[in-house]
Structure 1
Amino acid sequence: MKIRYLIISFVFISLFMHLTWEWFIPYCETTSSYWYLSRSRKINTEAKILVLGDSQIVSGISPDFFAEVENVPSEEVLYFPKPSQQPEGILVDSLELIHQLPKLRKVYMNLSPLNTSKNSVTDANRQLFYSFGNLSKESIVHPMVRKAYFPNLTDLSWKIVISVFPYFGLSSNLNRLVYDPAVQADVPRRKQEFLYIQESMEKRQGSWVWKSIGEDPSLQEKEEFPENSSLVLAGKRDLSVSIWSEIVKLWRENNVEVVFLRIPFSPKMEKDILKTNANAVSDEIFKTVMLEPNKKKVAVFDFRSVFLNEYQNFADLTHLNQKGRDAFSLILKKVLFDHTNSPTQGM
């Protein structure tokens, strides 16, 4: 009898959490809100162009831009980037989408030192996946994805617990609301950002200038970037490198062209990355994926040097603002038009 009441209690608690957890999302930090709202994206099985990646794409390139370059209706562009995305997340999305998109001909992705090294974004992506990602067959069965997200039974159990009791996935966000005055003061802005992200999901598939709530945020030249801060990005995460190769293989075997973009970071960050040689791992990946048998199906476009003095084009250290998006679109459009209308691969 007690066991039955216990089970009924757990079912009731789980149901209550699932019905109410969305009330707390506007109080979460920006990336969590985005991941939650991205769950509402619709998959158009007629899509010909797929866009995957992280917040550099979210902030820097819109789905309408890809539609124009590829000469397809905007509804035939499936725009699927997420902030703090890592190659394991891109692989999961690829595995889940590949059989749902029979007309797909090209996939765009961004690759940079942020998703080839072990850094704070790697850990953030893992927590975001636990909190808001789908516990799909692909995320458990594929050995590389399993190694990234569920290296042991405890991690898998934790993901299952969050899936059943979603409040646990919000704990890191909500706990700080109780004791951190800075987070408490940030709540009004978080709520505004939630509404802007929600609108972007409904109207632009999630394309949104990062942290913009009506204004165009602009990075100031005087803002400091501590010397050698990008040294952490110089390390090689072997699993990331292996997963990138697996992603290319997966799409190539399905006769889909892969286009890699190296979207620029802010001037001081790019200069520090150059100093610490943090581009080395991503550059090696670019060289490898361009070799046979990938050469005819993979293109790489590197724009790390286009805005080395234009601070006004950035919302912060890593994201283009609206002015930067407009400027970058002009540069990218010419390169991609040339690529789309010629047999030349890469640049």
Structure 2
Amino acid sequence: MKIRYFIFTLFLISIFMHLTWGWFIPYCETTSSYWYLSKTRKINKEAKILVLGDSQIVSGISPDFFAEVEGLSSEDILYFPKPSQQPEGILVDSLELIHQLPKLRKVYVNLSPLNTSKNSVTDANRQLFYSFGNLTKESIIHPLVRKAYFTNLTDLSWKIVILVFPYFGLSSNLNRLVYDPAAQADVTRRKQEFLYIRESMEQRQGSWVWKSIGEDPSLQEEEEFPDKSSLVLAGKRELSVTIWRELAKLWTEKKVKVVFLRIPFSPKMEKDILQTNANVVSDEIFKTVTADFNKEQVAVFDFRSVFLDQYQYFADLTHLNQKGRDVLSLILKSALFDHAHSSTQGM
């Protein structure tokens, strides 16, 4: 009888957590709020273009832009980037979507030193997947995804625990509110950002100028970027490199074209990346995928050098603001228009 009551109590606790955990999301940091709200995205199975990537896509390029350059309606674009996304997360999303989109003909995805090296974003993505990602058959049986997220049985058990008791997925966010004055002072802004992200999900599939709550944030030239702080991005994460190649293979085998984008970072960060040779690994991947597949299957468009002096186009060190998004759209349009229309000939 005691075991029965214990199991019943755990069941009630789980139900309570699932009914109430959404109340706490507005108090979480921006990336967690975005991942939580991204679960509300509707998958249009008639979509012809899929957009994947991280917050550089979220902040830098809207789904309406892709619709315009491809000559399609906005309903034909499935916009699926997430902040702090890594290639393993993109692979999970690809495996989930690949059988749901029979009319898909092209994938756009951004690749940069942030998702080719082992850095803090890699760890953040892992925790975000545990807290908000879907546990699917593909995420367990695919060897590369399993290697990234479930290196042992403990990792898988932790993911299952969070699925059953979702409060555990919020623990790092909520704990900081107890002991961190900076997090406490940030609560009002977090709640505002939650509302703006929710609006963006409802109206623009999650396209949102990063950290914007009505204003257009602008990076100041005097903001410091410590010399050689991008050195951590210069290292090669072999698993990332392998997954990027697997992604290109996965989509091209389905007769889907892949367009890799290199979206610019802020001027000081790009110059520091150049100094530390942090572009080497991503350049190697670009070279490999374009060599392994013909130009009609895989294309690379690199815009790292377009804003090396324009600080006013950035919201912070890594994200474009609205002004930057508008200007990049013009540059992208001229580069992608011919490619997009030549790719669709004969379809």
Shorter-chain TM-score bucket reads: over 0.9
- Asked if 1:302 corresponds to 2:292, the answer is no
Alpha-carbon offset, residue 320 of structure 1: 0.1
Output one character per residue of 1:121-165: Cα deviation in whole Å (capped at 9) or x when no partner. Answer: 000000000000001111101000000000000000000000000
Alpha-carbon offset, residue 293 of structure 1: 3.4
Alpha-carbon offset, residue 294 of structure 1: 4.2
Question: What number of residue pairs does the alignment pair up?
Answer: 344
CA distance change for structure 1 residues 72 and 50 in 2, over 3 Å: closer, same or farther? same
- After TM superposition, the structure 1 = structure 2 runs for residues 85-124 of structure 1, keeping only pairs within 5 Å, are 85-124=85-124
- After TM superposition, the structure 1 = structure 2 runs for residues 138-217 of structure 1, keeping only pairs within 5 Å, are 138-217=138-217
Name the structure 2 match of 1:46: 46
Q: Which runs of 4+ in 1 moved over 4 A?
A: none
Alpha-carbon offset, residue 295 of structure 1: 3.5
Name the structure 2 match of 1:286: 286
The separation in 2 between residues aligned to 1:286 and 1:293, in whole angstroms, is 11
- After TM superposition, the structure 1 = structure 2 runs for residues 235-274 of structure 1, keeping only pairs within 5 Å, are 235-274=235-274
Q: Which runs of 5+ in 1 are unaligned?
A: none
Contact 1:252–1:294 under 8 Å retained in 2: no
Name the structure 1 match of 2:276: 276
The separation in 1 between residues aligned to 2:294 and 2:20, in whole angstroms, is 47
SS at match of 1:282: helix
The separation in 2 between residues aligned to 1:248 and 1:341, in whole angstroms, is 21
Name the structure 2 match of 1:5: 5
Alpha-carbon offset, residue 289 of structure 1: 0.3
2:341 is aligned with what amino acid? N
The separation in 2 between residues aligned to 1:293 and 1:68, in whole angstroms, is 26
Name the structure 1 match of 2:57: 57
Output one character per residue of 1:269-323: Cα deviation in whole Å (capped at 9) or x when no partner. Answer: 0000000000000000000000143433000000000000000000000000000
SS at match of 2:223: coil
Please, what TM-score do these two structures have when normalized by structure 1? 0.98
Contact 2:264–2:305 under 8 Å retained in 1: yes
CA RMSD in angstroms, aligned pairs only: 1.0
Please, what TM-score do these two structures have when normalized by structure 2? 0.98
Output one character per residue of 1:77-134: Cα deviation in whole Å (capped at 9) or x when no partner. Answer: 0000000000000000000000000000000000000000000000000000000000
Alpha-carbon offset, residue 28 of structure 1: 0.1
Q: Which runs of 5+ in 2 are unaligned?
A: none
2:299 is aligned with what amino acid? A
Output one character per residue of 1:233-280: Cα deviation in whole Å (capped at 9) or x when no partner. Answer: 000000000000000000000000000000000000000000000000
- Asked if 1:321 corresponds to 2:321, the answer is yes
Alpha-carbon offset, residue 55 of structure 1: 0.1
Alpha-carbon offset, residue 342 of structure 1: 3.7
